[in-house]
Structure 1
Amino acid sequence: MRIFGLEFRFTDSLWYACWIAAFLIIAAVILNRKLRRVDPMAKPKGIQNLLEYAVSALDNFAVGTMGPVGHKFSAFYGSMFLYILLCNLSGLFVWFRISPAESKVWIEFMRPPTADLAVTLSLALITFFMTQGFGLKAKGLKGWLKGFTEPVTLLTPINLIGEVANPISLSFRLMGNVLAGTIIMALYYGMLPMLAYIISPALHFYFDVFAGVLQSFIFVMLSMIYVSGAME
């Protein structure tokens, strides 16, 4: 697709990102309808107990990171954490590709959407605009502009570069870590096909599960720090 002479491509990573977003939306609607039928006076159990614990943990984490204002952002950043986490963990999913002509079956791992800069930069830009928007709302136009000149006016260019660098560092940090794990696993399967399915569970646990959870946590925590810092 070409717009104003520029070519835009809807890659597989963007498709996967949309599928994961659709899955979370459908799951939220189903759980919401299920919880509406629960007696509010009854003792929580099952999925309700798990969800209440998760919501409470996310709310406490947001307040601990952002201060009292974190209550307003816990739902948003909780959703962002779940979305990034599922995108990172999607590298565990496999596709079966069949070639009847060659009588062969290939197993291909799904490429995580967060291994694509287009996805991670979009998430980082959300944080960037939230940082500037809430900073402007909290300080007013004069106070917001004055913040770029502190502590001395001479540092204004550096402060501006620092603000622009935040979304760049956020996007490249997330993409780089996820993409690195994907490349390492691809090389491993290519060089050691006979041993791949014996040792690979431990490597998948580290590169997909451990690193995926850790990078989701870091991205959300830094986003909270940037937004709360702009509102001080």
Structure 2
Amino acid sequence: MQLTPDQDIILRLGEFGLNATIVNTWIVMALLVGGSVLVTRNLCPDVPPNRWRTLLETIVQMIQSQIGEITQTSARHVMYFAGTLFLFIALSNLLLVVPGFAPPTSSLSTTVALAISVLCAVPLFGIASGGLGRYLRHFIEPSAVMLPFNIISEFSRGISLAIRLYGNIMSGAVIAAILLGVAPFFFPVVMDMLGLLTGLIQAYIFAILATVYISSATADPPPPSPPEDAP
């Protein structure tokens, strides 16, 4: 049993090889881009919505409402980033039901890449919202003594995101493989259904945590407390 799609080399070009993680990532990206083009190619405000447009608007409104409840900034700007994370992870996990398809999210390299994208997005959103000086000041709040601890906290967020997503996806794959050996006719169906549910939940949690981190970087600083001798 292969624990990661990194071990499955699909195409070898000399000394370099394309493993299943890279190829399946391209497949997921192509499906997302192709589906978006097909759904939005005839998108006009004066045309009655069809079922695909209705489905698309429902998904977008759901993501935007969830983000709007968390962040204080414009939900639309955060939605572009967090919504893309959700759709990529969700579709990757949903394709688990396709025989022979290994979700790219079951590779630690993919989850680390997603976590790095969040680590890069947090300061970018923070600087764009309040400027470089205000973003850097939050590292020394409430005092300069907290500087190393705040820096460690920033990086630990990305590590926890990567390990959490990878661990949950891999644990489901390992359990499914064990149950497949015990009862190959019944448990695979049940595990596929649980895998779909778990995949959607993990995509939701990852996108929500990314939104929370961005919201904390773009939130307005608390007002200064009044002096103790003030009346």
With normalisation by structure 2, the TM-score equals 0.82
Per-residue CA deviation, residues 98-131 of structure 1 (Å, 9 max, x unaligned), is: xxxxxxxxxxxx2211011111111111111110
- 2:24 is aligned to 16
Cα distance, 1:57 vs structure 2: 1.5
CA distance in 2, matches of 1:161, 1:10: 34
Q: Which among 69, 75, 99 is matched to residue 80 of structure 2?
A: 75
Over the aligned positions, Cα root-mean-square deviation in angstroms equals: 1.9
The higher relative CO (CA closer than 8 Å, separation ≥ 6) is in 2
Following TM superposition, the consecutive aligned residue runs of length 4 or more in structure 1 with deviations greater than 6 angstroms are: none
With normalisation by structure 1, the TM-score equals 0.81
Per-residue CA deviation, residues 176-209 of structure 1 (Å, 9 max, x unaligned), is: 100110111112223x2xx322232122211x11
Q: Which among 162, 181, 185 is matched to residue 197 of structure 1?
A: 185
CA distance in 1, matches of 2:17, 2:118: 24
1:145 to 1:213, Cα distance in 2 relative to 1, 3 A: same
- 1:48 is aligned to 53
**Contact 1:115-1:175 within 8 A present in 2 as well:** yes
Alignment of 1:61 onto 2:66: yes
The DSSP-based 3-state class of the residue aligned with 2:131 is helix
Alignment of 1:177 onto 2:177: no
Sequence identity (%): 29
Cα distance, 1:67 vs structure 2: 3.1
CA distance in 1, matches of 2:174, 2:215: 35
Q: Which among 143, 146, 168 is matched to residue 152 of structure 1?
A: 143
- 2:222 is aligned to none
Which AA in structure 2 matches 1:140?
A: G
Give the unaligned 5+ runs of structure 1: 1-6, 96-109
**Contact 1:111-1:182 within 8 A present in 2 as well:** no
Which AA in structure 2 matches 1:201?
A: V
Alignment of 1:211 onto 2:216: no
Cα distance, 1:32 vs structure 2: 1.6
Cα distance, 1:224 vs structure 2: 0.4
Cα distance, 1:68 vs structure 2: 4.6
Equivalent residue pairs, number: 205
Which AA in structure 2 matches 1:223?
A: A
Give the unaligned 5+ runs of structure 2: 1-14, 220-231
Matches within 5 A, 1:106-145: 110-145=101-136
